[in-house]
Amino acid sequence: MRLSYPADVKIIQVPCTGRVDILHLLNAIEDGADGVYVAGCLEGECHYLEGNLKARRKVEYVKRTLTELGIEPERVEMYNLSSAQGARFAEIANEMVEQIRGLGPTPVKSNTAA
Amino acid sequence: MIVADRKSLQEILAMVEDNKKILIAGCKGCVTVCNVGGLKEVEILASSMKIARKKQGNDIEIDIDVLERQCDIEYVAGISEKVGDYDAVISLACGVGPQFLSEMYKDQTFYPGVNTTFFGGATQHGIWEERCAGCGTCGIHNFGGLCPIARCAKSLMNGPCGGSSGGICEVNKETECIWDSIVRKKMDAGRLEDLIGVKGIKNWRTARDGGPRRSIREELVQGNI
């Protein structure tokens, strides 16, 4: 299966999406990421029981924070898929990239950057 | 513990809108336990504020620190060397924190980042309820271990008011009528007569009505024992 997905996506691997923290997501936005999504296992299929459910709650928290700050909450998303769904992985990457393209570049830009 | 809720990001951002470099000071005491002012919350606030300010094109430098407790001067003294480096300091401790800080560092401005609400505990993860009003004369044992001062909307001492309906308080449908619970508990224990005796008038001078309070333990004032 030689599927391609957009080069815009930078993958950061974690043992379980339960490891993803609110701060990881916020720091990504803070550092200028146009969007960030969490790709966890299917709900009910977590090897650690509820890591993906916790990740979803954290994503929801960050969405609320972004909304409070006047930033589109769609810049942060949670997806669920199994490790056997390679095609779905590529599809999600395309979907997210299209969504972020629709929103445009991040409004979070440092005014001190070179 | 003392329970607090964080102020909105907009309110906090407005406090320091003219500042370029601030410190956010958390506290490892009660506000860490009620998930509002510990290390994690301090980091989240700092990141959220930096995002907001970058969006405005008006970057802000934020350092963070979490004091062991902001209600003890020896720990408040721990930031003496750096406190002057900032335009302002946001404290995520209860209302005691910004005051102890303000008293020790008279030239610095301290903003409260939380609204301090009550003395209480967590009834489940994420839900805290008031249990004590700090009235200064505890009589919980007279009411089956349930405090009507803190938990009755009217702080009634002699039984439920006419607003008690189906065990619920008329003030808020989420609030149980604590007098309903007190009476039921006594009935279940077969000790309803405990509530019949006439109690003396409560001395409210030990509560806030007597002005700011002070607790002195002579043996400790004299030195360690």
CB contact (8 A) between residue A69 and residue B9: yes
- Chain B environment of A23 (Cβ under 8 Å): 40, 43-44, 47
Q: Where are the domains of chain A?
A: 17-103
Percent of chain B with pLDDT over 90: 94
Residues in CB range of A97: below 8 A, 6 or more apart: A6, A8, A9
d(CA B219, CA B85): 39
Superfamily name with CATH number, domain B2-117: Response regulator (3.40.50.2300)
CA of B113 vs chain A CAs: smallest distance (Å): 16
Q: Where does the pLDDT of residue B224 fall: very low under 50, low under 70, confident under 90, or very high at 90 and above?
A: confident
| Tens of pLDDT, residues B163-181 | 999 999 999 999 999 999 9
| Tens of pLDDT, residues B40-52 | 999 999 999 999 9
Residue B18, pLDDT > 60, answer yes
From the list B21, B26, B61, B22, the residue with the least C-alpha distance to B40 is B26
pLDDT of residue B218: 94
ipTM above 0.90, yes or no: yes
From residue A56, alpha-carbon distances to A32, A78, B7 in Å are: 22, 6, 24
Residue A43, pLDDT > 50, answer yes
CB pairs under 8 A between A and B: 45
Give the residue range(s) of CATH 3.40.50.2300 domains in chain B. 2-117
Q: Where does the pLDDT of residue B225 fall: very low under 50, low under 70, confident under 90, or very high at 90 and above?
A: confident
Q: What one-character DSSP code corresponds to residue A45?
A: -
CB contact (8 A) between residue A30 and residue B52: no
Q: Which residue of A has its CA nearest to B53?
A: A108
**Dihedrals phi, psi of A65, to nearest 5 degrees:** -65, -45
| Tens of pLDDT, residues B72-106 | 999 999 999 999 999 999 999 999 999 999 999 99
From the list A46, A50, A98, the residue with the least C-alpha distance to A77 is A98
Which residue type is seen at A27?
N
Task: Give buried/exposed letters for B24-35 (b at 16+ CB in 10 A, else e).
Answer: bbbbbbbbbbbe
pLDDT of residue B210: 87
CB contact (8 A) between residue A26 and residue B54: no
